[in-house]
């Protein structure tokens, strides 16, 4: 190898004035490109339907009978993530003793909101033995979270005021197969 050989190349560092002007131009172009990309992404997100977006109520789900004292509840079972995500969305009415029971395999804190839910609801967060941990009234279309006071596996949505009209409060025990005893 000949150590004397010299590389010929163009000097990458032009005069100082030209460098500053080119750098400003490059930064300005980069900002415009980034702004355009952000605007395009925002437009696509706004126009694209959400994954699993729901435009109407889900079909009626299989039901289970629950008992609250002498009252029988016909509860639809929401067990899959899709069923639970949709819940009571877009339903325009609920019959008096009908509700939706959200069933999960593992106890954890549970929180619910009322996005796209048109009827007022009361939610009961329920322990494994059927004892109501806490209740929360939820208003239509309200996106505030309503959470369990401690980790639970079950939550039961009923028409708003259903529990109160029957004197049912935290500590009351519901019966039914999900809680280990059939509703008689």
Check whether residue 32 and residue 67 sit in a common domain: no
Residue 149's SS3 state is coil
Check whether residue 130 and residue 92 sit in a common domain: yes
Model confidence over 33-62: pLDDT tens digits? Answer: 444 433 433 333 333 334 345 678 999 999
E-only strand ranges, the chain: 63-68, 71-78, 98-108, 111-112, 121-126, 132-138, 146-147, 152-159
Model confidence over 78-89: pLDDT tens digits? Answer: 999 999 999 999
CB 40 within 8 A of CB 32: no
Please indicate, yes or no, if residue 169 is contained in any of the structural domains: yes
Burial 9-23 (b: 16+ CB within 10 A, else e): eeeeeeeeeeeeeee
Give the least confident one: 91-100, 148-157, 175-184: 175-184
Please indicate, yes or no, if residue 113 is contained in any of the structural domains: yes
- Domain region containing 75: 63-179
Can you give the CATH number for the domain in which 106 is found?
2.60.120.1140
Please indicate, yes or no, if residue 141 is contained in any of the structural domains: yes
Mean pLDDT estimate for the chain: 81
């Amino acid at each position: 190898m000949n150590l004397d050989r010299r590389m010929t190349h163009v000097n990458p560092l032009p005069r100082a004035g030209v460098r500053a002007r080119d750098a400003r131009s490059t930064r300005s172009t980069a900002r415009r490109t980034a702004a355009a990309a952000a605007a395009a992404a925002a437009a696509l997100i706004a126009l694209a339907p959400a994954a699993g977006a729901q435009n109407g109520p889900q079909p009626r789900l299989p039901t289970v009978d629950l008992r609250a004292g002498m009252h029988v509840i016909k509860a639809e079972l929401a067990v899959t993530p899709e069923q639970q995500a949709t819940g009571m969305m877009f339903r325009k009415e609920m019959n008096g003793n009908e509700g939706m029971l959200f069933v999960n395999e593992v106890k954890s804190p549970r929180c619910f909101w009322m996005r796209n839910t048109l009827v007022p609801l009361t939610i009961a967060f329920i322990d494994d033995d059927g004892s109501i941990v806490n209740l929360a009234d939820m208003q239509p279309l309200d996106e505030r979270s309503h959470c369990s006071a401690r980790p639970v596996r079950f939550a039961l949505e009923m028409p708003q005021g259903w529990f109160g009209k029957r004197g049912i409060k935290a500590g009351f025990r519901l019966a039914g197969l999900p809680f280990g005893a059939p509703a008689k």
